Structure 1
Amino acid sequence: MSLPSFVAGSGTLDRLVDTARDYARAAASDNTLKAYAQDWAQFTRWCRLKGWYDQCGTEPQLPSPEMIGLYLADLASGSGGSPALAVSTIDRRLSGLAWNYAQRGFALDRKTRHIATVLAGIKRRHARPPVQKEAILAEDILAMVATLPFDLRGLRDRAILLLGYAGGLRRSEIVSLDVHKDDTPDSGGWFDVFDKGTLLILNAKTGWREVEIGRGSSDQTCPVHALEQWLHFAKIDFGPVFVRTSRDGTRALEKRLNDKHVARLIKRTVLDAGIRSELPEQDRLALFSGHSLRAGLASSAEVDERYVQKQLGHTSAEMTRRYQRRRDRFRVNLTKAAGL
């Protein structure tokens, strides 16, 4: 982001350039930007190994569809001693390249035959059904919460699990919550507490949305009560909701938790609660992730599907069904409805 060559710089314009750069960086999440940067680094390394830099200088400036088609084929075949990548990963890498080229002022047309036909062939030959993470069901989340102590750190982690489960939240949505609107520049939303529950206002992956979380049947399982307890004992009334604690677990610090804490918390409490104990530990760890909370709500809430869809922020019922690990798939029997 810079001034056009025919425009003379000034203090005001230079400050606007900096502001525009900040907005441009905010167009995608930190995790997405990090992934795109890795995609570009891996692609440029591949170009260097294949000698493409000899023709293009120090960086592959022009997006050559032919070379990118070869790159995709290399990723899918796993040649050169590297493991073959999943189709979803290859698709994501291509999106990363398109984004990086766009930042450099070039357009990468994914529909060009050198790219589109190679990618279509990769999908036809190597595509597999997506591997879904295990859903954390109601009895699981209760067992996980029961493993947590009642010190400050335990109160925080209990609120994270219950709020994430009842709200069907992404792990990034959990840790980006602030107490009030505009408390911090990196806020992903805030909340209001009412007698019957709490309302989360989230700047989510698909835009702004509201998530209503009602109070539970008891204080031990109530996400709103858990949130209130954490904020009260941690003395948090401004800024990030979920922050780190001191090593001795007696004080809440100011630094916001990373979303990886949610994933680690889920895996640790799954092990401590003995969930899927018939499997080896490594397999159990691989089964669960942050998405297990969202899948758990979708699978456990026995209500009309549209309410689950709204809670998860999905634009289609089909996406919501992907999260439902247990449901009556044949509740609507079109065979009988057709007269057979």
Structure 2
Amino acid sequence: MAQIIDQNRENHAQASSAPPDSTAVLQDVSAPAVSADASPRLPAHLQDLTDRARGYVEAASSTNTRRAYAADWKHFAAWCRRSNLSPLPPDPQTVGLYITACASGTAERGAKPNTVSTIERRLSALSWNYAQRRGEKLDRKDRAIATVMAGIRNTHAAPPRQKEAILPEDLIAMLETLDRGTLRGMRDRAMLLIGFAGGLRRSEIVGLDLGRDQTEDSSGWIEILDKGLLVTLRGKTGWREVEVGRGSSDATCPVVAIETWIKFAKLAKGPLFRRVTGKGKDVGPDRLNDKEVARLVKSAALAAGVRGDLSEGERALKFSGHSLRAGLASSAEVDERYVQKQLGHASAEMTRKYQRRRDRFRVNLTKASGL
């Protein structure tokens, strides 16, 4: 591996000493993925198709993903500029040196070493940007990348740190910390309950609309029925439906909480969960940011004393929006395939990763084999 790095340095030392023009690269981050050439302007009907294609490319990935990939490209381009290297065309040796810098904490001044998952995301971001914005391919199997990345995983990889699951008794205690008589309290109760009962991601919670085709940035919509709530969601693999049944008590029923919020917030169309303004007396038109879900889970868990055996700092790190999904997976005592469907997982193995409390040794192969 050291020979590869040394060879990389020798190759780049022979390059021109003139700084590469990274300005164009940075500007290209926000440029459309499908762009017109410098050739004569396309006919009007083809230009329209180009615009439509640009929209479809944008729709192929979520806004958060595109934002993260843009930030990663900017980080890479800035490192290249400081290192007197060019980010274009895709060069495995340059990328190999870059991920080495990320792993060692030298990619930028005063930075800490990146985690393995962060470096893997940065690699995905570079591949995406090269392919979508330049029509070029980064060969991640090249030894200058693959060998270095394997060494980084072996040296720095650590078991994943799972967020604490919010269990039913925890959720009930958290609901009690919210004021039922205020708009903010009604909204927050509805978000916690539908997030838990639906096993929804935080982006899915705030992305809901009151009906179909009401906003462009929607992740789905709700339909209130006699027996429960039908949530239609756009996920990574297409559309899926999530059924949220009515609870055994109005105080903990997600459907009642949603109905109450809609009624008192006087909502008729558009985003389901919005900002509460005017000292808590008005509801604005803007959709909540998904980070608000994480803040709500953390603050309510702390207020309810969940995991009171830990310090406040430790408890704050234990909870996130994901705690609601993990709570449903860990608490629903039904056939695993139903939980898998609710969470939208492609495999049962992924669902099991969300189950914080389950009988891991219900099937004992040691005894079954005769030992």
* TM norm structure 2: 0.87
TM-fit CA distance, 1:330: 0.2
Identity %: 61
Query: How far apart in 1 are the matches of 2:189 and 2:238?
Result: 27
Q: Residue 299 of structure 2 corresponds to which residue in structure 1?
A: 268
Residue number in structure 2 paired with 1:62: 89
Aligned: 1:107 with 2:134: no
1:16 CA drift (Å): 3.2
Letter in 1 for 2:55: D
Q: What do the CA deviations read for 1:297-339 (whole angstroms, capped 9, x no partner)?
A: 1111111111111110000111011101111000000111111
- Aligned match of 1:90 in 103, 119, 123? 119
Q: Which residue of 1 aligns with 2:68?
A: 35
Q: CA 1:83 to 1:4, structure 2 compared with 1: closer, same or farther past 3 Å?
A: closer
Distance 1:15 1:185 in 2: 19
The one of 166, 170, 175 equivalent to 1:136 is: 166
Deviant stretches of 4+, over 6 Å: none
Give the number of equivalent residue pairs: 334
Corresponding residue to 1:18 among 40, 51, 57: 51
Give the superposition deviation at 1:87: 0.8
Question: Structure 2: 5+ residue runs without aligned partners?
Answer: 1-33
Tell me the residue number matched to 1:175: 206
Of 105, 109, 121, the match for 1:78: 105
SS of equivalent to 1:220: helix
Q: What is the correspondence of 1:1-340 to structure 2 with a 5 Å cutoff?
A: 1-4=34-37, 8-52=41-85, 56=86, 60-79=87-106, 81-102=110-131, 103-150=133-180, 151-340=182-371
Provide the rounded CA distance (Å) in 2 between the counterparts of 1:65 and 1:8.
35
Structure 1 residue 15 displacement after superposition: 3.5
Offset of 1:127 from its aligned partner? 1.1
Distance 1:113 1:285 in 2: 41
The amino acid that maps onto 1:63 is P
Question: RMSD in angstroms over aligned alpha carbons?
Answer: 1.5
Gaps spanning 5+ residues in structure 1: where? none
| Structure-2 separation of matches of 1:81 and 1:9 | 48
Equivalent residue letter for 2:137: A
SS at match of 1:252: strand
Query: Residues of 2 paired with 1:214 and 1:89: CA distance?
Result: 38
Task: Give the deviation of 1:205 after TM superposition.
Answer: 2.9
Rounded Cα–Cα distance in structure 2 between residues aligned with 1:147 and 1:228: 20
Q: Which amino acid aligns with 1:167?
A: G
Q: Deviations over 1:102-158 (max 9, x none)?
A: 112211111111111111111112111101111111111111111111211111110
What does the per-residue CA deviation read over 1:22-48, in whole Å, with 9 as the maximum and x for residues that have no partner? Answer: 222221111111110110111111111
The aligned residue for residue 9 of structure 2 is none
CA distance in 1, matches of 2:323, 2:140: 33
**Matched-pair contact (CA < 8 Å) for 1:149–1:155:** yes
Distance 1:121 1:247 in 2: 55
Give 3-state SS (helix, strand or coil) of 2:285's partner. Answer: strand
Aligned partners of 2:276 and 2:100: how far apart in 1? 47
Contact kept in structure 2, 1:206 and 1:313, CA below 8 Å: no
